[in-house]
Amino acid sequence: AKKEAISTANKHSDENLKSANTYTDTAKKEAISTANKHSDENLKSANTYTDKTATHTLSSANTYTNQRAALAENNAVARSNSYTDNRFGELRNSLKHTEKRLNAGIAGVTAISSIPYTAGNKFSYGIGAGNYQNGNAIAAGVQFRVSQSTNVRLNISWDSAGNNVTGVGIAGGW
């Protein structure tokens, strides 16, 4: 009877162990399946979130970059235009200044060439004036007859640009 009781107890224990193992295996499979499903859903959700966030970030970065590039281009064009305008303004002013000096110089030589002299005297002097566009000048000169056939002349002019022109000449004849 003892053997039978032990055998019955062992059989019962084996059936309980088999039932417990089956229950554990089933629970394990369900737990793994549930965990995998949950992990897959979380991964899908994370991927969707990452894709949306990356798309938004890329869009924001592109918008920012495009705006900054356009601003940089506009600033560069504005600075270039300003620089070019300033340089042309300086050139224009320099040309106007040069033009005034040239016109005054032409007026100076015109004034010198306009000085009249008397022909028969040993010593003669004269003054002249000249104008060319916006330049004006006055001039004075002296002529000295060194001999019957030789004259020496000295002329000087002062123009409206603050310059002076000096000329010396000698003439001979027979």
Q: Give CA–CA dist 152/18, Å, rounded.
A: 146
Confidence of residue 53 (pLDDT cuts 50, 70, 90): very high
Confidence of residue 118 (pLDDT cuts 50, 70, 90): confident
Supply the pLDDT for residue 78: 96
- Beta bridge partners, 158, equal 138, 164
Q: Give CA–CA dist 169/153, Å, rounded.
A: 5
- Specify the number of domains making up the chain: 1
Given a cut of 90, whether residue 120 has pLDDT beyond it is no
Q: Give the model confidence (pLDDT) of 138-151 as tens digits.
A: 999 999 999 989 99
Confidence of residue 63 (pLDDT cuts 50, 70, 90): very high
Give the three-class secondary structure for 117: coil
Confidence of residue 172 (pLDDT cuts 50, 70, 90): very high
Q: Looking at residue 12, which CATH number applies to its domain?
A: 3.30.1300.30
Host domain of residue 29 = 1-174
